[in-house]
Amino acid sequence: MSPLYEDGDYLFIFKPFWKKPPLAKQIIVFNHIKYGLLLKRVVSVDKKSKIFFSKGHNSHSISREEIGAIKFEEIKGTPIFHIKGKKT
């Protein structure tokens, strides 16, 4: 399966002003200490506001086991607009 977003694409993200955790199946952008800025789909949210992620949309995606639980404070936002980049 090909990725939903590819290198070179542009995303406009929005972080809600309220402090609610994202919903299951929502795509979020977050900063990971080892991998940097990532996009993943939320699988579930626990009561301590830690978020667990699916494997992603393709076989080259970083697994949720490698990422671990992400704190709500690390979330930068959710994509609201997507522009495909030029393929080289």
Per-residue pLDDT of the chain (88 residues; tens, 9 = 90+): 667 888 888 999 998 766 777 888 888 899 999 999 998 888 888 877 778 787 677 777 888 888 888 888 888 999 999 989 887 6
CATH number, domain with residue 48: 2.30.30
66 in any annotated domain: yes
Query: How many structural domains comprise the chain?
Result: 1
* CB atoms inside a 10 Å sphere around CB 44: 10
39 in any annotated domain: yes
Predicted structure pTM score: 0.81
21 in any annotated domain: yes
Give residue 46's domain range.
Answer: 10-83
14 in any annotated domain: yes
**Closest by CA position to 45, among listed 71, 74, 13:** 71
58 in any annotated domain: yes
**Closest by CA position to 40, among listed 23, 56, 17, 25:** 56
